[in-house]
Structure 1
Amino acid sequence: MTLFLFAWLVAANLLPVSTPAPPAATTTVTVVVTKLPSAQATLKLYFYNVKANFLVRNQYTLLKHIKPGGSTKVVYPIQLPPGDWAIAVTQDLNENDLVDRNVIGIPTEPFALSQVGHPRFKVPTFEDCMFKVNGPTTVTIAMK
């Protein structure tokens, strides 16, 4: 009897039924990385969409490992939800799965950032490197 009453209330739209939220819409972002120092070493793309997490170790939103396959240019399409994003790119020349740094913390392996390329005098902010995703977008990043 209880199951019959429950089914009748649901069918009559008198009892709310939770439905899963639709997945967030995504759009294609094409990341083009040029001037790679090595055509073989693994390229790492760190995607950030949270300002407070930008360039904080292990706080990226998404990480992609890419093998250049003999080319000094990589074109990588990815689906991202709309919003503000920034990308950091490193190339692991010695394949030790780390971003090697000197004694004061500056990377000794090639790196670059979206919108600013290779910074010289200060660590860029999220706003410096940010680009908006609200439709198909292409981001070009040149390594040093």
Structure 2
Amino acid sequence: MIVSTRAFLFAAGSLLAAAPASAGNPAGTSSITVVVSALASTQSVVKLYFYNLRDQFLKPQGYVFKKAVLPAGQNQITLPVDLPNGEWAVAITQDMNNNDKLDKNFVGIPTEPFAFSNNVRPTLAPPDFNECKFTVSGPRVVTIKLTK
């Protein structure tokens, strides 16, 4: 289901604001801003999948939560989220045909734009959590460029 950016950001803030933010507190949360640039379309939904467990990375339903954002005519999106402190990785797709899945060719290579945190560019296999992880321990900006 596609929602407006404003409604989405409101819902995201409401869901993630339940835990108090406290910089430097290992048990707390931190404000993170995810910026995704070089979008292939200014109209197609961008999906961000947030992972914090190595053994669940890129597995179906292995993400902690996902967010869907409409670019609203922009070639980049900015998504503020509060994350529990610790190690996180983000996988991103842009659903060009709005069929609610990442389309792939006959050998399993994505035919729709995708990206990973740390701007990891996989060659022959999907990346590992360790390649994509970043540490959340205070406010920060995570910038990711979409691969077309």
Q: TM-score, normalised by structure 1?
A: 0.81
Provide the residue aligned with 1:67 in structure 2: 70
CA–CA distance in structure 2, aligned partners of residues 122 and 94 of structure 1: 24
Provide the residue aligned with 1:80 in structure 2: 83
Provide the residue aligned with 2:142 in structure 1: 139
CA–CA distance in structure 2, aligned partners of residues 64 and 109 of structure 1: 17
Provide the residue aligned with 2:131 in structure 1: 128
CA–CA distance in structure 2, aligned partners of residues 43 and 138 of structure 1: 18
Deviation string 1:32-82 (CA, Å, 9 cap, x unpaired) is 000000000000000000000000111111100000000011111001000
Provide the residue aligned with 2:54 in structure 1: 51
RMSD of aligned Cα (Å): 1.4
Provide the residue aligned with 1:38 in structure 2: 41
CA–CA distance in structure 2, aligned partners of residues 74 and 47 of structure 1: 16
CA–CA distance in structure 2, aligned partners of residues 110 and 139 of structure 1: 18
Q: TM-score, normalised by structure 2?
A: 0.79
The 4+ residue runs of structure 1 with deviation greater than 3 A are none
CA–CA distance in structure 2, aligned partners of residues 32 and 135 of structure 1: 17
Provide the residue aligned with 2:107 in structure 1: 104
Shift of 1:118: 3.1
Provide the residue aligned with 1:5 in structure 2: none
- SS of the residue aligned with 2:119? coil
Shift of 1:25: 2.1
Shift of 1:131: 0.2
Q: Any conservation in 1 of the 2:30–2:137 contact (CA below 8 Å)?
A: yes
CA–CA distance in structure 2, aligned partners of residues 43 and 116 of structure 1: 16
Shift of 1:121: 3.4
Provide the residue aligned with 1:15 in structure 2: none
Identical-residue share of aligned pairs (%):
46
Q: Any conservation in 2 of the 1:117–1:143 contact (CA below 8 Å)?
A: no
Q: Any conservation in 2 of the 1:26–1:80 contact (CA below 8 Å)?
A: yes
Shift of 1:101: 1.1
